[in-house]
Amino acid sequence: MNTTAVVFTSPGHLALQSLPLVPPDGPHAIVDVNFSGISTGTERLLWTGDMPAFPGMGYPLVPGYETVARVAKVHANSGLSEGDLVFVPGANCYGSVRGLFGGAAQRIAIAPAKLTKINETIGENGTLLALAATAHHAVVLGKLPDLIIGHGVLGRLIARITVALGGAPVVWETNVDRQNGSTGYRVLNPSDDAVKDYACILDASGDTKVLDRCMMHLARRGEIVLAGFYSEPLHFIFPPAFMREASIRIAAQWEPKDLQTAVELVSSGKLSLDGLITHRCAAAQAASAYETAFRNSECLKMVLDWRTFQ
């Protein structure tokens, strides 16, 4: 069995290729992909070649970890049925082509335990569940953030989850194209914010120069949470951090409980995923889709539609 997949052949180059589908050892499911999202964080670093040394890194590779699919085949007693709509957090089933993260493909072979059944009404918004889980993981690490930096998809999800949990955050965004679309929170240009005593500042921008700016607005014994992915070393001037006795916390990858909570928040209506997917493209046009996702600041989330391959 073969599958068509997006393959980063080298930095800055991609192609749609037919690849052998290599199921994992043991019981597995075959899923037909409906939609896959393009990440403008980690996938951009893979695309540019700036991704730091990371397990599984190398070319050629299949990107993608934001996938909605329908179960085509699954073994009995898996907890899933043929026809179920599922979220797929990526896969590694392409033989010699690396699966980092492996979700941008027409068909995927994967262990059923890695699949999460989702409601039909979620549809293509299910591609946002990985980011929603990432946002939840960052928010619940410590105090609820009262300042969030960055109003991309991750920043918006962090803000929405913070509001759902009872917070009232402010969000900083310098890009005018991204300052709209707030729901229950304020978005400011940092230069317009005079507050100097935020107890918890959460960065979702990935800006390697963010720490010094944060320190000037942090309360004494406040906390900075780094939820972006940083391709270069981070530095900060020590005296302001010393005077505030600042803490710095790093939010890593989401855990299964974060994904489950994100699904529950969406299913209950406490968390909306609406308005975050701004661009859609047929998977056959993947090259132009990735170009738009990485270069157009008005593109919050680009989704590839794989249904024409089925």
pLDDT tens digit sequence for 245-254: 999 999 998 9
pLDDT mean over 100-125? 95
Domain spanning 2-122+273-309, CATH class: alpha beta
pLDDT beyond 80 at 55:
no
112 vs 231 pLDDT, higher one: 112
Query: What's the pLDDT at 229?
Result: 87
3-state secondary structure the chain: CEEEEEEEEECCEEEEEEEECCCCCCCCEEEEEEEEEECCCHHHHHHHCCCCCCCCCCCCECCCCCEEEEEEECCCCCCCCCCCEEEECCCCCCCCCECCCCCCECEEEECHHHCEECCCCCHHHHHHHHHHHHHHHHHCCCCCCCEEECCCHHHHHHHHHHHHCCCCCEEECCCHHHCCCCCCCEEECHHHCCCCCEEEEEECCCCCCHHHHHHCCEEEEEEEEECCCCCCCCCCCHHHHHHHCCEEEECCCCCHHHHHHHHHHHHHCCCCCCCCCCEEEEHHHHHHHHHHHHHCCCCCCEEEECHHHC
pLDDT beyond 80 at 56:
no
Whole-model pTM over 0.75: yes
Q: Which CATH number describes the domain made up of 131-250? A: 3.40.50.720
pLDDT beyond 90 at 58:
no
pLDDT beyond 90 at 163:
yes
Residues spanned by CATH 3.90.180.10 within the chain? 2-122+273-309
pLDDT band at 199 (very low <50, low <70, confident <90, very high): very high
pLDDT tens digit sequence for 22-45: 998 889 999 999 999 999 888 998
Query: What's the pLDDT at 222?
Result: 98
Over pLDDT 70: what percentage of the chain?
A: 100
Query: What's the pLDDT at 240?
Result: 97
Residues spanned by CATH 3.40.50.720 within the chain? 131-250
Query: What's the pLDDT at 54?
Result: 75
Query: What's the pLDDT at 20?
Result: 96
pLDDT beyond 90 at 194:
yes
pLDDT beyond 90 at 100:
no
pLDDT band at 88 (very low <50, low <70, confident <90, very high): very high
pLDDT beyond 80 at 220:
yes
